[in-house]
Structures are given as structure tokens and as C-alpha cells.
């Protein structure tokens, strides 16, 4: 028993000695990575009263204030009210909340940089409408009027003078997608282009040009200084520069109305056709005279009955051998048809009886059962 206990203790010690450093190393690596990301985020936030943060530190400690200093091994957070600074090493940081714009875990890749905000502004371009969230918590909406190296100017939608905004002030920027435009005074090429791009290729639009000219069609292509419209009237493409556009908007009504009218027209025609066909009586066949012909011969016949109509056909059904064929069919009136009946030579050497069928152009027909005989 003693030997067994001793063996178990030795096995446990060997496991602890061999595996323990692996776990310790893994934990140390994670802490190093976490500290590096915390440092990167703190340095990107910068220092000063706008770099307000809420920190969660190891040991369940929380700290609020602005970053007053940021060094290689640690940084300082000053209380916003008293100015008293607390030194924090990067490995102490569990999470960072940048007030009011960002909530960032130290494991996150990175925070948006000033250059990223600048690229967003440049990509949007002058004339674009944007919403802004600033690092001091303010929300703005307006039109980009000017773009410079260190700042851009926004004409606010709320009344007031244009506001100069430094890139580092911006916590979040969003471009408002425009899908319509009407000039106030002279045409604004930037706003017209933004609306056209917002509408997109293949969208059906109404475009108003100077001189009360109105065009309708589908946007075929969009270029830097102009766009191409495939006109409804001619089907031809025409190029329109943005500075010509007085008004543009989505115009789905024309194709929809045309489609609806066409569908209604087709439905009405179908109803009329079915009603007419149903109410119109079919042909009735009474006699055919003569009612016999020898195989290999032709004979002129007269068919009587009722409800015959122009364009009617005469056929023979239900017999054996070569079927009689008709030519020179003339509908004399609603009661009389004349035609020439021909039967090719051959077939059984006995009488063959056929039904005589008359079919009007609209598809309704009537038959005279066993009405015609072909002799050998």
C-alpha cells in the first residue's frame, strides 16, 4: 500500500514539473499580448482632456478620467474633476471604454485612427451629407463643404454657420445616402452626382434639365463628371453632365403603369374572347351532296347546315384508307359551303365511310356522322 501511494505522489510531481511550465508560459504569453494591445489602443487615443476613458483593471479595480501621459511601460489617468493622476501599467488593463465614442476590449485589433477618419471624409467628398459623432458626445448632421489636410468644414442641417471639424474630433462618421436632388438656384454637380450614385445603375429615373426639359429612362452608367441615361422615348443612350441636372428622382410609376395597363388589356381581351367563344354556337352539318366518290377521283360537293362562318374548314374523320382532302372551300353563307373533295387511289377494296367535319376559324366545330362514302 505504501509503495502504491509513493508511486502516485511521484507521478503527480513529475506531471506538475513537466506540464506546469507549459501552462505558465501560455498564460504569460496571453498577458503579454493583452498588454501590447492595451498599449497600442492607449497610444492611439492620445492624451488630453478629450481622451476620456473608463478602465477595468485586474483585481476588480475601476478607474475613470482622461489620459494625461502615455509612456513605453505605463500611462497616467487623471481625474477629470481633481486632476489627480493615477499611474497604470499596461498589463493591469482588462478593458478600455473611450468616452463617449468607443467601447474597446484590449483583445480588439485596433481603434479607428485620424487617418481612417480622413480617408472616410475624402471618400465621401465635398457635397456629401454626413452624420457625425464627436469625441465630446455631440451628434451633428450636415453637408461637407470643404476638405483640408487637418480638418473639414460641415454646413450643418440645423441653422447656423458652417462648422470646422478636426479629424481627431470625430468618433464616427456615416455618409447619408441620397436618392433624390432638387437644385436651389444654380445646379450643384456634387449633389446631383451623389443622388445619381445613390440611385444606382438600372434605376428608372426622372431627370429635369434647364429649360424645363424632362427626361425619363434607366441609368445605364455612372462616371466621374456625367452619367448615361437610356431614354424611354427612343431607347437611345444620352450622356448628361451633373452640372446640367436641376432635379432627379426615382420614377417607378411609368413602367409600372404601362405594365398594369398591358396586363389589364390582355385580361379584358381574354375575357371577351372566352365570353364570345362560349356564347357563339358552333357549326351544325346537315347534308353533303353528293355524298360519295370513287377512290382516285375528285368531286365538287355542297354542304348544308347552320352557323357556318368565314374561314371555316372541311375535313373527314373516322374512316380507313387515304383520307379525303378538300380544296376550293367557299363559305357561301351561314348555311352553305361548297368545296372540292379528292381521294387518292388505294386503300381497302370496299366502301369506306367517313364523318364530315366543319370547323369555324374560332375553333368550334360540328360533324355529320358517317356522312361521306369512298368507294373502291
Q: Among 2.30.33.40, 2.40.30.10, 3.40.50.720, 2.60.40.10, what is the CATH number of 284-375?
A: 2.60.40.10
The CATH fold assigned to 180-253 is: SH3 type barrels. (2.30.30)
Architecture of the 114-175 domain: Roll (2.30)
Tens-digit pLDDT profile for residues 264-286: 877 887 777 666 655 568 899 99
Contact status, residue 288 vs residue 330, Cβ threshold 8 Å: no
CA angle 352, 355, 357 (to 5 degrees): 145
Identical fold, 180-253 and 284-375 = no
- Rounded CA-CA distance 234/67 in Å is 66
Tens-digit pLDDT profile for residues 123-161: 777 777 888 888 888 888 888 888 999 999 988 765 567
Q: What is the pLDDT of residue 97?
A: 81
To the nearest whole number, what is the mean pLDDT of the chain? Answer: 82
Tens-digit pLDDT profile for residues 80-127: 777 788 999 999 999 888 765 434 444 444 556 888 899 888 877 777
The CATH fold assigned to 33-106 is: SH3 type barrels. (2.30.30)
pTM over 0.85: no
Amino acid at each position: 500500500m505504501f509503495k502504491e501511494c509513493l508511486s502516485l505522489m511521484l507521478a503527480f510531481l513529475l506531471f506538475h514539473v513537466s506540464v506546469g511550465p507549459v501552462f505558465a508560459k501560455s498564460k504569460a504569453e496571453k498577458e503579454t499580448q493583452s498588454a501590447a494591445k492595451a498599449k497600442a489602443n492607449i497610444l492611439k487615443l492620445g492624451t488630453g482632456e478629450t481622451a476620456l476613458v473608463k478602465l477595468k483593471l485586474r483585481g476588480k479595480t475601476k478607474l475613470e478620467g482622461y489620459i494625461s501621459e502615455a509612456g513605453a511601460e505605463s500611462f497616467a489617468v487623471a481625474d477629470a474633476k481633481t486632476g489627480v493622476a493615477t499611474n497604470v501599467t499596461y498589463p493591469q488593463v482588462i478593458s478600455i471604454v473611450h468616452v463617449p465614442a468607443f467601447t474597446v476590449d484590449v483583445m480588439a485589433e485596433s481603434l479607428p485612427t485620424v487617418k481612417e477618419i480622413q480617408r472616410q471624409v475624402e471618400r465621401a467628398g465635398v457635397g456629401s451629407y454626413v452624420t457625425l459623432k464627436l469625441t465630446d458626445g455631440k451628434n451633428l448632421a450636415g453637408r461637407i463643404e470643404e476638405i483640408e489636410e487637418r480638418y473639414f468644414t460641415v454646413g450643418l442641417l440645423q441653422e447656423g454657420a458652417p462648422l470646422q471639424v478636426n479629424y481627431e474630433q470625430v468618433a464616427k462618421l456615416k455618409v447619408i445616402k441620397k436618392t433624390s436632388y432638387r437644385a436651389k438656384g444654380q445646379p450643384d454637380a456634387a449633389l446631383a452626382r451623389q443622388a445619381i450614385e445613390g440611385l444606382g445603375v438600372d434605376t428608372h429615373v426622372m431627370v429635369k434639365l434647364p429649360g424645363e426639359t424632362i427626361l425619363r429612362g434607366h441609368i445605364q452608367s455612372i462616371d466621374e463628371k456625367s452619367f448615361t441615361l437610356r431614354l424611354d422615348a427612343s431607347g437611345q443612350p444620352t450622356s448628361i453632365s451633373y452640372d446640367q441636372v436641376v432635379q432627379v428622382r426615382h420614377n417607378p410609376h411609368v413602367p409600372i403603369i404601362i405594365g398594369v395597363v398591358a396586363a389589364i388589356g390582355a385580361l379584358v381581351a381574354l375575357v371577351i374572347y372566352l365570353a364570345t367563344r362560349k356564347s357563339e354556337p358552333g357549326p351544325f352539318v346537315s347534308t353533303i351532296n353528293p355524298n360519295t366518290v370513287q377512290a382516285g377521283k375528285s368531286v365538287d360537293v355542297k354542304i348544308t347546315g347552320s352557323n357556318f362562318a368565314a374561314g371555316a374548314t372541311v375535313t373527314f374523320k373516322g374512316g380507313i384508307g387515304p383520307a379525303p382532302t378538300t380544296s376550293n372551300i367557299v363559305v357561301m353563307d351561314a348555311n352553305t359551303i361548297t368545296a372540292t373533295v379528292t381521294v387518292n387511289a388505294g386503300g381497302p377494296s370496299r366502301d369506306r365511310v367517313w364523318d364530315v367535319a366543319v370547323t369555324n376559324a374560332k375553333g368550334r366545330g360540328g360533324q355529320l356522322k358517317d356522312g361521306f362514302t369512298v368507294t373502291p
